[in-house]
Amino acid sequence: MTDKIRAITFDARGTLLRVRFPVGETYAAVARRYGAELSTEAIEDAFFEVFPGMPPLAFPPMSEEALYEREYDWWRTMVERVVEAAEQEVDDFDKFFNELYAIYRGAEAWKPYREAASVLCLLRSAGYKLALVSNFDSRIEQVLVALNLSIWFDAIVFSSRAGVPKPHPGIYERALAELDVEPGEALHVGDNLRKDWEAARRVGMDAMLIDRNGRYEGSTPEECRVITDLEGLLDSLGVSGFAMMARAYAS
């Protein structure tokens, strides 16, 4: 690990935070409040079938109000397609979707990994600039506030506002500009080999892959540094004493 690193950028889902419940369970729970019974398994399968085929969650520059409308419409279309692909039905779809959309802007739907807050705190204490780089919409700002993570970031960069999603270099370049650092002074940590590790390196950043569940075991390039949790990042930065503090804080 180079001693020139001044800034660290993080992916969101799978790196710092995760959904509190499986998508199918959340959709079904909300639907029941409007008299509909959804199959959690069918919704779960449909979500992961439909989501990859959606257009990028990234829009050209526009007002905040217009951006919120575009994000809302994007997700409404996506949820409609999921329900249809699952061969399910919700009569009062508008109320169902509005509640579902609101749930995913807070702690009801998301939770941080156990070590996330302590590691971010310790990295800031060690003098690193921190940023989030995520394929997300503007609700990520509210999610980070709800999870008490927002205070640690110098910049929050997400695809819907940046205009391009990962792995496009533009979203990384925007984060570097907001942090006022050169690519060689920054390290990115994320859980997707192509969108995080490879994309950040193409921009000239250092990178680490976080693989919490062994998804990439035995299939990463030799030069790819893999960690299983964020405490591994502290160890790689040469601050193992901090890692011990992080474990104590998170336990």
Is 7-18+109-250 CATH 3.40.50.2300? no
User: What residue spans define the domains of the chain?
Assistant: 7-18+109-250, 21-103
pLDDT confidence of residue 173: 98
pLDDT confidence of residue 241: 53
Whose CA is closest to 93, among 111, 104, 106, 77? 77
Q: Which amino acid is at 48?
A: F
Q: Using an 8 Å Cβ cutoff, are 206 and 181 in contact?
A: no
pLDDT, tens only, 64-108: 999 999 999 999 999 999 999 999 999 999 999 999 999 999 999
pLDDT confidence of residue 246: 52
pLDDT confidence of residue 238: 78
| Residue bearing tokens 């970031």 | 153
- Note if the pTM is more than 0.95: no
Which helix (H) or strand (E) is 73 found in, with range? Answer: helix 64-85
Give me the CATH code for the 21-103 domain, please: 1.10.150
Low-confidence ranges of the chain (pLDDT < 70): 1-2, 239-251
| 71 CB-near residues (< 8 Å, 6+ apart) | 57, 59, 137, 138, 139, 160
Q: Using an 8 Å Cβ cutoff, are 234 and 240 in contact?
A: yes
pLDDT, tens only, 197-218: 999 999 999 999 999 999 999 9
pLDDT confidence of residue 130: 98
